[in-house]
A and B are shown apart, each in its own frame.
Chain A
Amino acid sequence: MTAKIEIRRANKLFDTGGRHIAALENVDLDIRANQFVTLVGASGCGKSTLLRSIGGLEDLSSGEIRVDGRPVSGPGAERAMVFQHYSLYPWLTVRENIRFCRSLKIKREEITSADVEIASGRTDALIGLMGLAPVENAYPNQLSGGMQQRVAIARALMNRPDILLMDEPFGALDAQTREVMHDLILHVFALERPTIVFVTHDVEEAIYLGDRVVLMAPRPGRIDSIYEVPLPPEREQDMKLSPEFTELKREILSRIRATSGMQTDRGMLDKLTATAQPGAAA
């Protein structure tokens, strides 16, 4: 069986004023259909670049990405993307934002009244699912960050995309809101079974959500290791305290630390403490 997303020897060079940055170097990865894959790694290791390449928003320097066997050559409606920030349309209400894709021609080609009914049914369903009913006529800037991300997710789901690409969608939310959003996205995942690629800084989030955690390393951006998450598909918050969970978290965190090239300089910290408190040294 071929994978839903096949990434073959993907290379991406950024040219920044004469210096080349290898954001991706020989990345090979297969992602199966209906899988929830999370991408973690130190800052600058190319997570966003890889995700955007799958979405067709970034061209590879060499190599290939295939979706359903077809090479990706640009963005497409079957690969929806959810961004961290500023992607909602502030001039549209929540409901209009979610229905935005209905105003695009691609969805209007062979439109029938049944389609319209299904579409408005789906809008209502998504509004209900995301708990947006009380604010459906509000504008995005009247909503909290968590609510705004719900709208962004609902909008991305409106097209029934095969693939959902998410770049730190909850990165700007507080811990409690984030937990609620985790269970929400897992619920959506269980209902609609898209293939999800989810970028995050947060290892706990990556394990809790993912079937597989892909760890990338920087300079050059590459895949370092891949972990199967040893948890049942139905996730519950309490699982975060289970030994399997904490063990995997420890392992991934130490691996990220090892690959990031950034270490806490203990000696330097001690020196700082000593100079800050001259009395303590005596």
Chain B
Amino acid sequence: MAAQCDSGIPNPRQRWWVIRGQIGRREYLVLALLGLLAPLAAWWGLAHSGWVDKVFMPAPEEVVTRIYGWFAEDDLLGDIWISVYRVTAGFAISAVLALPLALLIGTYRPLQALFEPLTDFIRYMPAVAFIPLVMLWVGIEESAKIAIIFIGTFFQMVLMMAEDIRRVPMAQIEAAQTMGATRGELTRLVILPSAKPALLDTLRVTMGWAWTYLVVAELVAANSGLGFAILKAQRFLQTDKIFAGILLIGLFGLLMDQSFRWLHRKRFPWLYFK
């Protein structure tokens, strides 16, 4: 205690392990980089140790070479483009349909009673198991993959968004009512703005699931895309390409996640002062 007062800045050992404590931006970046690079180094070490067969675990540089080769000769950009398109389309349709439904479920009890148990029920049906049905009903065109991503994300999204809407403090709503707000104004000027940060977070989380379902959809019913590339590589035992595909998907996920976080900080600055 006394030392803390004397030096002003306590030493890191004390400072880091404060429950819900703060660290500097520099420290954060260094640690985040360490967290990303350490597994990479371990991977590199393991691949070069000679303990594992190249077929099971290619070295990082081989994967990089493979990515380059994929880019130069095998239309990597095309695969990325089609995958990103499928994810974005399925995700966007989900979001556009989920929001109004969630707004209704989160606002009106009877609609909650009508829709929430049903949604919960469907949510637990594995989206993957719908693939045969989707192929039967929708065919094997682009729309089939988009439909699978939709099934995988929509029901979760509705429930999570409805919860976000319900979390809007009643006092915020009632204050507006006693200022004479109409229903439409309550929705537009209070409920939506109040829930927006939580809604954006829900989108960020469900975007991750959309990527998962993309791969599932492409593994089963596609002839292009990152997921399909992984499947094809497996047939030819191209472990380095499997690694490349997985890493690329991870990278895109990370990028999208970070964009959502950036947008969150940008759009909702008041949440970040303290």
Contact = CB atoms under 8 A, between A and B. Distances in A.
B74 interface: no
B179 A101 contact: yes
Given A91-B270, A139-B270, A104 B179 contact: yes
Nearest to A81: B178
Interface stretch (B7-15, B116-124, B155-163, B166-174): B166-174
Contact of A77 (B172, B174, B180): B180
Interface residues of A, number: 35
B170 to A, nearest CB: 8
A277 to B, nearest CB: 31
Contacts of A158: 179
A76 B171 contact: no
A86 B169 CA distance: 7
Interface string A148-186: 000010011011000001000000000000000000000
B190 interface: yes
Interface string B118-162: 000000000000000000000000000000000000000000000
Contacts of B273: 139, 141-142
Contacts of A79: 178
B261 to A, nearest CB: 18
Contacts of B174: 55, 57, 75, 81, 83, 87
Given A91-B194, A139-B273, A141-B270, A57 B171 contact: no
Given A89-B172, A89-B190, A91-B193, A104 B270 contact: no
B268 interface: yes
B104 to A, nearest CB: 21
A60 interface: no
A87 B269 CA distance: 19
A107 B180 contact: yes
A103 interface: yes
A76 B174 CA distance: 11
Contacts of B169: 86-87
Contact of A89 (B180, B193, B268, B271): B193
Given A57-B177, A159-B179, A89 B171 contact: no
A76 B178 contact: yes
Interface stretch (B50-58, B181-189, B245-253): B181-189
A141 B268 CA distance: 12
B176 interface: yes
Contact of B178 (A55, A103, A107, A140): A55
Contacts, number: 89
B contacts with A: majority SS: helix
Interface in A75-129: 75-77, 79-81, 83, 85-91, 100-101, 103-107
B174 to A, nearest CB: 5
Nearest to B197: A91
Contacts of B274: 141
A89 B174 CA distance: 12
A81 B173 CA distance: 11
A81 B175 contact: yes
Given A57-B177, A75-B177, A142-B273, A103 B189 contact: yes
Interface string A14-47: 0000000000000000000000000000000000
Contacts of B179: 77, 80, 100-101, 104, 155-156, 158-159
A74 B180 CA distance: 10
A87 B270 contact: no
Given A86-B172, A141-B273, A91 B268 contact: yes
Contact of B185 (A55, A90, A104): A104
A168 to B, nearest CB: 12
Contacts of A159: 179-180
Nearest to B174: A57
B189 A87 contact: no
Contacts of B194: 89-91
B171 A85 contact: yes
A76 B178 CA distance: 5
B184 to A, nearest CB: 9
B180 A87 contact: no
Interface string B1-37: 0000000000000000000000000000000000000
B172 to A, nearest CB: 6
Contacts of A87: 169, 171-172, 174-175
A100 B178 contact: no
10 contacts: A55-B174, A76-B180, A81-B178, A91-B270, A103-B189, A104-B185, A104-B189, A142-B270, A156-B178, A158-B179
Rank and list the top 7 A-B pairs by shortest CB-CB distance, nearest first. A77-B180, A87-B171, A139-B270, A75-B177, A106-B180, A81-B178, A87-B175
Given A85-B171, A139-B273, A159-B179, 20 more contacts: A55-B178, A56-B177, A75-B174, A76-B180, A81-B178, A86-B171, A87-B172, A87-B175, A88-B172, A89-B172, A90-B271, A91-B194, A100-B189, A104-B185, A105-B182, A141-B274, A142-B273, A155-B175, A156-B175, A165-B178
Interface of B: 169, 171-172, 174-182, 185, 189-190, 193-194, 196, 268-271, 273-274
